[in-house]
Every structure is written in C-alpha cells, then in structure tokens.
Chains A and B, each alone.
Chain A
C-alpha cells in the first residue's frame, strides 16, 4: 500500500471527495488518509464545503417553477423548418376546406374540426418521417400509454387493430392549441400509416358523432367522446378508414 500511497496526488484527494475514483484507487486513498492527518483534514474540509453548498442550494430544486420556465405548449411547431412548411401547407388545406383554425365556439362541431385539422397536420408531418416517426416505440407500449395518459390527464388506450391489418408503431406527445395531445401511429404490411390523435379538453361534453374531412389524400374521421377529441387520419379510401374508425370507436367506448 505504501507504494501506491507515494503516488497519491492532490487530484486524487478531490476525486476521492467527489466519488470519482474506482474502488481500488479509492482504497488506496483511504489508506493514505489514515496515515496522513494533514491530508485527512483537507478532505474533511472539502466535504464540509460540499455539504454546506448543498444545504444552501438544494432547496432551489423544490421550488415551484415560475410560469416563464414551463415548457411552451407549441414548441414542436417551431422545431423544424420542414415541419413548419408541412404545417403551413395543411393550414392552407384546412382553410380551403373551411376548417376552423381554433375551436371557435362552445359547440362541439367547430372544436371537432379544429381537432381534425391539427390531427391532419400532425399526421402528415410525422408519417412522412422515416427514421423517427414516433417518440416511443410499440415495444414500450405500456410506458407510452401510461405516459400519454398522465400528460393528457385521462386514461388512454392504444386500440388493437391487428384484425384490420394494422399494427402499432408507437406514439408521441404533441402540443396543440388545446394543450397536450397524443398521437398513436399504426402501419400495415404495405407501410400505409394511420394515426389516431387524441386531445383532452376539460370543457367538452361531447357525444360520439363521426365527422369526415378529406383533401389531397388525407382523410380524417373525427369525433368527441366525453372530454376527449379523437381523430383517425390516413391516406386510404374512405370506407376502409371508416371501418378502422368503427373498430377504434368500439374499443374505446367506455
């Protein structure tokens, strides 16, 4: 032990205090400290400094965050120029279709249309991503569903659509004008992708009522159930999308 003790340098004393030594080196420094009261005093002083700083600063961690530091609701739309472009295109599409840009009134319809519009935008943006279409993949489905349920404040489920040829790819959290939204993505054997978009709006007391919107290959069935707005979006024929929408609706019926 004396051989290694000779090689103990001041850097080792700091690394000892900071827990940045491997076990062997740690033992060597501990032995060195036993034999060197001066070094031991220094290490003790460093430890007191650390404890005092932590005692002084740790309460900051427990403080409630000021509003200015909470994450922006619409951050996603600022991220990618490409996404912004896709959003802009769909906004034009939406306006052309007469969709409302935001839930314009207290009635169910305009809000539903806003859900459909945002779902369509998100569908176009994310189904075209080859490498990162989803944030959390289907192999972590329980985590995905639990996480999105927590963020949206409502128990969500990812419907099983295997009977219709679609398997879950995964999902992601989105921000919408109504707060957080969830997107589940499905894919069939031909790589056709469907997305189910869900948003929770505490003020809504809607009833399920399928509405349909379509333009340039993007079809959306949307409905409101309780406080949740759903939109199923795909680039497939309307009857086929409707059968999927029916399956989704039946599985999610409470």
Chain B
C-alpha cells in the first residue's frame, strides 16, 4: 500500500505554487493550501488507493478557492480578488529579465478560468484529462480556455513589442 501521507506531503509545494499563481497574495494562497490540507487529512480514508492523488488534492483546492471567491463576491463593498494579481509570486530577480516580468503582467490580466487552465497544463504539466477533471469541465471547454488564454497572451506580448527581436518578424 502506498503511504498516503507521504503522497500528500509530496504535493504540498505544488499546491502552494498553483495557489500562489492563482490567488497572488502569498498569505492568502497559503491559507487556501492549509484549508485544502485539513480537508485532505480528514478525508484521506476516502481516497481510493491507485487513483490519482494529485488530481484529488488539486480538485479540493480548486473547489475551496471557488467557494471562497463566491463568498467574497457576495460581500458588500468587496474588491475583486483576481483583478490585481500583478504582484509577482516571488520576488523577481535581475535574471528574470523584462520578458518574464512583462509576461507575468500579461498573464495576470487573463480571466481566472484561463489562468487556472494554463497553470495546470503548463506549470503543473497535467494531462488534459487530469486538468479537466480538476476544474470540473469538459475537455472541449478546457481546450478552448487554453487556446484563448495563449492567444490573448500572445497578442499582449506582441503589442508590448517583446517578441520581435527573438522571432525576427
């Protein structure tokens, strides 16, 4: 039998990375991961051995995030959460370069569903099936979010004139 505690612990840095990119604020993101882990510890007997524990954990995290965002929206006088995720997830270093930072700015301006899809696919490197399951959407919806997200990013970066030198266009 695999050791579920270790399997969960192995995923914590990944859950943090996803939450940080999704929520933006470090403390808020870690709170989200903490809620997710509490739920996971208390329900780990429900996890079926041999099934995908990463998808299970990310699904919990994602649903908690949606619930929190919904509550936030319904609160009078709230400031939209996803609106200002321009704060970089980690302190940018000199080596990060202008391109990386402006890419992050552009990425932060995408609608959250597109950001979530792109993060799971490109950063967490999930399969399309896995990401669709985590987000609770059909494959077609996932692919369309990926496509729209990437195309919008590409246009934003083109407009910023960032691409020209590398691509020779």
Chain A interface residues toward B at CB < 8 A? 10-11, 14-15, 18-20, 41-42, 44-46, 48-50, 52-63, 65-66, 68-69, 71-72, 75, 78-80, 132, 134-137, 147, 172-173
Q: Which residues of B contact A (CB under 8 A)?
A: 1, 3, 5, 8-9, 12-14, 16-17, 20-21, 30, 33-34, 37, 41-42, 44-45, 88-90, 92, 96, 99-100, 103-104, 107, 118-119, 121-123, 125, 127-128, 143, 146-147, 150, 153-154, 157-158, 163, 166-167, 169
CB-CB under 8 A from A52, the residues of chain B are 99-100, 103-104, 107
How far apart sit A75 and B163, CA to CA, in the bound complex (Å)?
50
Do residues B13 and A48 form an inter-chain contact, with CB atoms below 8 A? no
Q: A56 vs B97: C-alpha distance in the bound complex, in angstroms?
A: 10
Q: How many whole Å from B122's CB to the nearest CB in chain A?
A: 4
**Residue with the greatest number of chain B CB neighbours at <10 A, chosen from A18, A60, A71:** A60
A41 to B14, CA, bound (A): 30
| Contact for B45 among A50, A57, A58, A80, CB less than 8 A | A80
Nearest neighbor of A78 in chain B, beta-carbon distance? B42
Given A57-B89, A63-B13, CB of A136 within 8 Å of CB of B103 = no
Inter-chain contacts of A78 with B (CB < 8 A) = 41-42
**Docked complex Cα distance between A41 and B164 (Å):** 11
28 A-B pairs (CB sep. < 8 Å): A11-B143, A15-B128, A18-B121, A18-B122, A19-B125, A45-B150, A45-B167, A46-B154, A48-B99, A49-B118, A49-B122, A52-B100, A52-B104, A53-B104, A57-B90, A58-B17, A60-B16, A61-B13, A65-B16, A68-B34, A71-B5, A71-B37, A71-B41, A79-B44, A132-B1, A134-B1, A172-B3, A173-B3
Inter-subunit contact A46/B150 (CB<8 Å): yes
A58 contacts which chain B residues (CB < 8 A)? 17
Contact between A137 and B1 (Cβ–Cβ < 8 Å)? Answer: yes
- Top 8 nearest A-B pairs (CB, nearest first) are A52-B103, A60-B17, A50-B122, A45-B154, A75-B41, A61-B13, A59-B90, A52-B100
Q: How far is the CB of B58 from chain A (nearest CB, A)?
A: 15
Closest A residue, CB atoms, query B44: A79
B31 and chain A: residue at smallest CB distance? A68
- Highest count of chain B CB atoms <10 Å: which of A14, A41, A56, A134: A56
Query: Which residues from chain B contact A42 at a C-beta distance below 8 Å?
Result: 154
Per a CB cutoff under 8 Å, which of B5, B14, B16, B150 touches A49? B150
Decide if A79 touches B45 in the complex (CB within 8 Å): yes
Which chain B positions have C-beta within 8 A of A53? Answer: 21, 103-104, 107, 118-119, 122-123
Residue in chain B with minimal CB distance to A40: B167
Q: Report chain A residues within 8 Å CB of B1.
A: 132, 134-137
Q: In the assembled complex, which residues on chain A have CB atoms less than 8 Å from the CB atom of B16?
A: 60-61, 63, 65, 69
Contact indicator B123/A54 (Cβ below 8 Å): yes
* A180: min CB distance to chain B, Å: 10
- Distance in Å from the Cβ of A138 to the closest Cβ of chain B? 12
Find out whether the CB atom of B122 lies under 8 angstroms from the CB atom of A54. Answer: yes
Task: Look across to chain A and name the residue whose beta carbon is closest to the beta carbon of B103.
Answer: A52
